[in-house]
């Protein structure tokens, strides 16, 4: 399996450990379509984690408000 396929699989599974390893070792792509695919996947994972971070922040805020009441 190549890097793009592994990244897609890890993203689908939300496998943070594998995603981190793949991000640390992005290969040098020779084809422009592979570069675009990698860029798209990296952007997608960034957006996914930003959404997750926002959800976690909302939950933390809700918990703090519940404890303050």
The contacts of residue 64 (CB under 8 Å, 6+ apart) are none
Domain ranges (residues) in the chain: 3-68
What H or E segment, with its residue span, contains residue 9?
Answer: helix 3-13
**Which tokens belong to 61?**
């805020």
**Secondary structure letter of residue 26 according to DSSP:** -
* Cα 24 from Cα 53, distance rounded (Å): 21
pLDDT higher than threshold 70 for residue 69? no
Q: What band does 68 get if pLDDT is binned at 50, 70 and 90?
A: confident
| Residue range 11-56, pLDDT digits in tens | 999 899 999 999 999 999 999 999 999 999 999 999 988 999 999 9
pLDDT at position 6, please? 97
């Amino acid at each position: 399996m190549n890097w793009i396929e592994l990244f897609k699989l890890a993203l689908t599974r939300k496998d943070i450990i594998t995603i981190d390893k793949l991000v640390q070792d992005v290969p040098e792509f020779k084809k422009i379509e592979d570069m675009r695919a990698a860029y798209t996947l990296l952007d997608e994972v960034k957006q996914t984690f930003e959404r997750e971070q926002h959800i976690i922040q909302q939950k933390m805020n809700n918990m703090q408000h519940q404890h303050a009441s």
